Structure 1
Amino acid sequence: MIPAIGWLLSSFLVAWLSARAAIAYAHRRGMLDRPGQRRSHSIPTPRGGGVGIVVASLLCLPGVLLGTAEPWPPRVLIGLLVALLLVALAGWWDDHRSLPILPRFGAQLLAVLLFAVASGVAGLSWWWLPVLVLGGAWSINLHNFMDGIDGLLAQQAMFVGTGLALLAWGGGQEALALAAGCLAAASLGFWCLNRSPARIFMGDVGSGSVGLLIFAFTVMLGRAGAWLLWPALILSSAFVVDASLTLLSRFWRGRRWYTAHREHLYQWLVRCGLTHAGGGVIYMTWNLLFAAPLAWLAWSHPRQALPTTMGAYLAAAALWLLLKRRCLRRRSNKDRHVAA
């Protein structure tokens, strides 16, 4: 237990210290997100603080995944670290100067492919390779899309990391449990500087890396026990539903899905007068009152795991539609009042 606490504290401190250093670095390099029509903040804010989560993961994951009584295969760890480096470097480049979508997406696909191949070599069925590549790329991008208000992505990473750690611990995977716990601890270290009002934003270097790590730990959990995959997917339901339904709605309306916008539910909540902290409370309320209990239900009743997961996502989609319509109606009434 003492070494585990040490790894968790190290992850927290490395992420916090690195994020503090990133604030000064961003000011020197002019890496500031400035307010605009498609942004939800009102003052210029440095970006790139998510590098702390990356540094903490690169330093702690080797010791965590290889230093326990039942270590993970070295090939899986190497594949994970190389993938993390690729995604983080592409995000870091994009935080400094805009990186075109094709090279950025290509780096993400290569990163996920490397991790998937490493998992396949270690015993995962090769039939899963296309699913893993597409799922990993979507996880990276959806977490990037959902990083738009203070503290939201960091608190989600804390929740999902903690949930994955508990699932792995319950499944007898102590090394994976500690690895997911380190992600949660590192996210907490960054959140201390990112909570509203944010002193620094995560940036693409952090959002893409968090998406990759959540995806990788979910896959590793499913590899340890297929029945653990369903509760793990429930933990991410809030972000997956918001990002997916927003993307589908933009496709349906013929809009460019890859351009900056303010059409996610969390952005509409802020546009309708809710604070950044208030928007985060809504997502955490779903996580604690619905996602966590349903994940426990799927874990404790494996035979009902699939219908429980489907029910969780349907409920999240229904809530998304309800809140989105309320925001649109409130915005429309406000615009008519201003026009009058």
Structure 2
Amino acid sequence: MVWQGLLVIVAVSFFTTWLLRRYALARSIIDIPNARSSHTVPTPRGGGVAIVLSFLLVLPLLTATGLLTWANMWAMLGAGSVIAVLGFLDDHGHIAARWRLLGHFAASAWALYWLGGLPAISLIGIDFDLAWLGHGLAVFYLVWLLNLYNFMDGIDGIASVEAICACLGACLLYWLGGFETLIVAPLVLAMAVAGFLYWNFPPARIFMGDAGSGFLGIILGLLSLQAAWASPKLLWVWLILLGVFIVDATVTLIRRLVRGEKVYEAHRSHAYQFASRQYGRHLSVTLAVAAINLFWLLPWAASVVLWSVDGALALIVAYVPLLLLAVKFHAGELEKS
């Protein structure tokens, strides 16, 4: 019964994406390549709405059957809906950055109210309760995560592959570590993304759009906080699993801030974008991200859950090669003409 339900989610996402593609083509909701694009062919956008609907519509059912708490449902349903609507409106027109950011903070605060804020953080074997300071940091964490996911959705399939790898990796570690009650939400999200990925895999026939990328960012952030309430070490697990996106986006942001650039303006100076231009294909970079997730980040995340390696230490070791890759592929540098 469980597997049939998961297949239904994949199918709903698949066919909803197909419908959204037809809608985008009919309404000329198309990404036209320009100097700041990483693609060369006009492509419909907004397909991420399929992920949003496939995931959010299942939440009440999960809650009614006792597989998800009411607090978690309201956190994800409320915050996810706000971010998706903001992204959808921005995909169809334009919303000023300050209003988008205000909506991001409001959605994050709503979610944290239902989750109870930031749980204790485990560091060198000691749990630290940061109280109100922690709650404030958690708001900025969610806002940053949803925006970095938007920034990193720049080549075919990369945002979908990252979400599936992180979610399925977390599910595996939950199962091995005795946290089975946490599996259902990330597993459902992975299935919702899988149905969309068929259309988004290189060469993409539709893009995710801001509605999908921002939604994925905040939901992944909420899943990490949900896990941290079950065990503080699980927050480190999620930060490690999302390392490719966190490192690339953070290094790029810092370098652009140092140069005094407007960070909310479109650009193509992320490491993954330089890499896709260097190799001339999106597919090789997207598959490389999947390989890093599977063969490097997942084992380090597993070390935290299964062998009680300190989460902060594991994160540092896992991130060092990612930082070197970000530097190698010029993250945040100006593109040479």
Shared topology, TM-score over 0.5? yes
Q: Which residue among 166, 179, 189 is the counterpart of 2:185?
A: 179
CA distance in 1, matches of 2:288, 2:68: 37
Deviation at 1:175, TM superposition (A): 4.1
- Write the deviation string for residues 125-148 of structure 1: whole angstroms up to 9, x where unpaired: 753311210000001000000001
CA distance in 1, matches of 2:64, 2:202: 37
Corresponding residue of 1:51: 49
Is 2:273 aligned against 1:267?
Answer: yes
CA distance in 2, matches of 1:154, 1:243: 16
Corresponding residue of 2:126: none
How well do the aligned residues superpose, as a CA RMSD in angstroms? 2.2
Deviation at 1:279, TM superposition (A): 1.2
Which sections of structure 1, spanning at least 5 residues, go unmatched?
A: 336-340
- Write the deviation string for residues 20-43 of structure 1: whole angstroms up to 9, x where unpaired: 110011112221000100001111
CA distance in 2, matches of 1:157, 1:7: 20
Instruction: Answer whether contact 1:7 1:64 (CA < 8 A) is retained.
Output: no
Instruction: Answer whether contact 2:55 2:189 (CA < 8 A) is retained.
Output: yes
Stretch of structure 1 that moved more, 201-210 or 314-323: 314-323
Q: Secondary structure at the match of 2:34?
A: coil
CA distance in 2, matches of 1:141, 1:228: 22
Superposition pairs of residues 37-186 of structure 1, within 5 angstroms: 37-68=35-66, 71-120=67-116, 126-127=131-132, 128-186=134-192
Superposition pairs of residues 211-250 of structure 1, within 5 angstroms: 211-250=217-256
Deviation at 1:316, TM superposition (A): 1.2
Identity %: 33
Q: Secondary structure at the match of 2:330?
A: helix
Q: Give the letter for the 1:313 counterpart.
A: Y
CA distance in 2, matches of 1:164, 1:123: 18
Instruction: Answer whether contact 1:139 1:215 (CA < 8 A) is retained.
Output: yes
CA distance in 1, matches of 2:225, 2:118: 13
Q: Give the letter for the 1:281 counterpart.
A: L
CA distance in 1, matches of 2:117, 2:319: 32
Deviation at 1:66, TM superposition (A): 4.4
Deviation at 1:7, TM superposition (A): 2.9
Corresponding residue of 1:197: 203
Q: Give the letter for the 2:300 counterpart.
A: L
Q: Secondary structure at the match of 2:57?
A: helix
CA distance in 1, matches of 2:307, 2:64: 31
Instruction: Answer whether contact 1:142 1:239 (CA < 8 A) is retained.
Output: yes
Instruction: Answer whether contact 1:168 1:176 (CA < 8 A) is retained.
Output: yes
Is 2:32 aligned against 1:26?
Answer: no
Instruction: Answer whether contact 2:269 2:330 (CA < 8 A) is retained.
Output: no
Is 2:34 aligned against 1:36?
Answer: yes
CA distance in 2, matches of 1:242, 1:30: 32
Corresponding residue of 1:338: none
Q: Give the letter for the 2:53 counterpart.
A: V
Q: Secondary structure at the match of 2:245?
A: helix
- Write the deviation string for residues 202-248 of structure 1: whole angstroms up to 9, x where unpaired: 00000000001110111101111112221221100000000000000
Instruction: Answer whether contact 1:88 1:208 (CA < 8 A) is retained.
Output: yes
CA distance in 2, matches of 1:154, 1:121: 28
- Write the deviation string for residues 50-94 of structure 1: whole angstroms up to 9, x where unpaired: 0011001111122234424xx443123112201111000000000
Corresponding residue of 1:324: 330
Q: Give the letter for the 2:308 counterpart.
A: P
TM-score where L is the length of structure 2: 0.91
CA distance in 2, matches of 1:304, 1:118: 28
